[in-house]
């Protein structure tokens, strides 16, 4: 039981003890769903001098403004239901069964006892009947919830259940973290409430995320209803990068454009460009997302982009603007010259090698005649041997082999 509730009860008891007034405590408004029951939590207080007349023969009556004087509960023409509270305990809690459409009205409670205990309480309950179930209430009760990255968030979904015998299923989508199973509570007027919470830390990934709480009723063919909150997660700039265009070394006097990109929510409010003079000290050059510079050999070569939004700051890694200086070209020429020299040397060596190879080939050509004969003699002998080993096969085979042996022998 919550603090305010205990306090209310204490005040109620204190008042009751010294009561000299007629009072009734019930919800001022009840959202009824047609076809579902309606339970009215109700507690009353009567004037001290009437307490002796409060006994079992006192009738509990409900009236509505448009049927002056008639008891809507006891008549078959009106609503079906019964007072479930104990009148002797001044508990007038009442249930109306299958509340019909078109019965939206102000309802008043009346004690109908023996003379002089006949009293209609002045405060009534406004019951409005709806075809559809009410959407749940999300807390914080906003359409767009803006939070800082890392904030520990608790989203609470709740709905008043006017008919406690029909309870919906309460679901979160998506489920973002630790979740408390839906629990039943009582609101300040004693009405049943279903409450579910989920707790999570807001991350940049949750930005633009729609979180919904849905009520699903298995009875009464009611459509599921949902309430949505849109998350906006704010964060300081991150992943800040400075781009150089053109990216390679440039010749002196050419235009170089530096541009800065950063992930921030809300977007970056201010860009600052710093140059590093080489001493590690950053010197502010300019503001704006891009920085245009003319490449000069005496220009500082390292640039840093600093970004700001309402939630913090970030800076890029230093980027170098490379200048194709004359010193650099000389080095390049030297390397090129060395390479060319090397190439010429290799070619010369190859030429000498080629000439000696040619000479050897010519010498070889002279020896060729005699060598060829010797080779073939050896070859034909071995073929003959093979045929000798296989000659018991077919005549054809023998003929062919013989022929080839003959040819080989005569060829030189």
> Whole-number minimum distance, CB 33 to ligand NAG, in Å?
20
CB-nearer residue toward ligand NAG: 43 or 159: 43
Could you tell me how many residues of this chain bind ligand NAG (CB under 6 A)?
Answer: 10
Q: For residues 252-291, which are near ligand NAG according to CB under 6 A? A: none
Q: For residues 341-360, which are near ligand NAG according to CB under 6 A? A: none
CB-nearer residue toward ligand NAG: 177 or 190: 190
- Name the one range near ligand NAG by CB under 6 A: 53-61, 144-152, 271-279, 317-325: 53-61
Q: For residues 54-93, which are near ligand NAG according to CB under 6 A? A: 55-57, 84-85, 91, 93
Region of 35 please: left (phi>0), alpha (psi -120 to 50) or beta: left
If one counts every other C-beta atom within 10 angstroms of the C-beta of residue 100, the result is 13
Residue 43 found at the interface with ligand NAG (CB under 6 A) = yes
- Rounded to the nearest 10 degrees, how much is the dihedral formed by the CA atoms of 355, 361, 362, 366? 160
- Name the one range near ligand NAG by CB under 6 A: 49-57, 258-266, 296-304, 341-349: 49-57
> Whole-number minimum distance, CB 58 to ligand NAG, in Å?
7
Region of 85 please: left (phi>0), alpha (psi -120 to 50) or beta: beta
- Name the one range near ligand NAG by CB under 6 A: 52-60, 156-164, 309-317, 359-367: 52-60
CB-nearer residue toward ligand NAG: 84 or 180: 84
**Pattern of binders to ligand NAG over 107-126, x per CB under 6 A?**
-------x------------
Task: Name the residue among 189, 20, 165, 4 with its Cα closest to residue 92.
Answer: 189
> Whole-number minimum distance, CB 158 to ligand NAG, in Å?
20
Pick from 22, 50, 53, 398: which binds ligand NAG (CB under 6 A)? 53
Would you tell me the crossing angle of helices 395-410 and 326-390 to the nearest 10 degrees?
120
Task: Name the residue among 187, 159, 133, 314 with its Cα closest to residue 241.
Answer: 314
CB-nearer residue toward ligand NAG: 117 or 250: 117
> Whole-number minimum distance, CB 73 to ligand NAG, in Å?
16
Residue 404 found at the interface with ligand NAG (CB under 6 A) = no
CB-nearer residue toward ligand NAG: 13 or 257: 13
> Whole-number minimum distance, CB 109 to ligand NAG, in Å?
13
CB-nearer residue toward ligand NAG: 53 or 398: 53
> Whole-number minimum distance, CB 41 to ligand NAG, in Å?
7
Q: Where does this chain bind ligand NAG (CB under 6 A)?
A: 43, 53, 55-57, 84-85, 91, 93, 114
């Amino acid at each position: 039981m919550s603090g305010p509730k205990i306090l209310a009860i204490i005040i109620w008891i204190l008042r009751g003890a010294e009561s000299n007034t007629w009072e009734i405590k019930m919800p001022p408004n009840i959202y009824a769903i047609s076809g579902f029951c309606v339970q009215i939590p109700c507690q009353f207080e009567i004037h001290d001098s009437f307490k002796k007349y409060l006994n079992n023969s006192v009738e509990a009556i409900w009236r509505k403004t448009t049927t002056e004087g008639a008891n809507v509960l006891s008549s078959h023409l009106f609503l079906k239901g019964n007072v479930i509270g104990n009148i002797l305990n001044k508990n007038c809690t009442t249930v109306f069964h299958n509340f019909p459409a078109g019965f939206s009205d102000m309802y008043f409670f009346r004690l109908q006892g023996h003379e002089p205990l006949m009293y209609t309480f002045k405060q009534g309950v406004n019951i409005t009947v709806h075809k559809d179930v009410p959407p749940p209430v999300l807390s914080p009760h906003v359409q767009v919830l803006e939070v800082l990255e890392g904030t520990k968030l608790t989203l609470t979904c709740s709905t008043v259940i006017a008919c406690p015998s029909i309870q919906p299923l309460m679901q979160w989508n998506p489920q973002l973290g630790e979740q408390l199973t839906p629990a039943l509570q009582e609101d300040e007027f004693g009405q049943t409430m279903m409450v579910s919470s989920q707790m999570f830390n807001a991350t940049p990934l949750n930005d633009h995320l729609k979180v919904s709480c849905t009520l699903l009723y298995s009875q009464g063919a009611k459509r599921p209803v949902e309430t949505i909150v849109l998350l906006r997660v704010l964060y300081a700039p991150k992943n800040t990068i400075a781009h150089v265009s053109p990216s390679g070394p440039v010749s002196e006097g050419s235009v170089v454009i530096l541009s800065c990109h950063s992930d921030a929510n809300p977007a970056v409010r201010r860009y600052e460009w710093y140059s590093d003079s080489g001493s590690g000290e950053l010197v502010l050059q300019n503001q704006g997302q891009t920085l245009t510079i003319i490449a000069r050999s005496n220009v500082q070569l390292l640039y840093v982009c600093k970004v700001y939004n309402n939630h913090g700051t970030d800076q890029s890694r230093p980027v170098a603007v490379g200048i194709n200086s004359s010193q650099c070209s000389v080095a390049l020429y030297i390397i090129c010259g060395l390479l060319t020299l090397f190439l010429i040397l290799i070619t010369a060596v190859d030429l000498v090698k080629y000439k000696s190879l040619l000479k050897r080939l010519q010498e070889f050509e002279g020896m060729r005649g005699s060598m060829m004969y010797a080779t073939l003699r050896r070859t034909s002998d071995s073929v003959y041997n093979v045929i000798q080993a296989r000659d018991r096969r077919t005549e054809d085979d023998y003929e062919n082999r013989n022929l080839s042996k003959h040819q080989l022998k005569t060829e030189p």
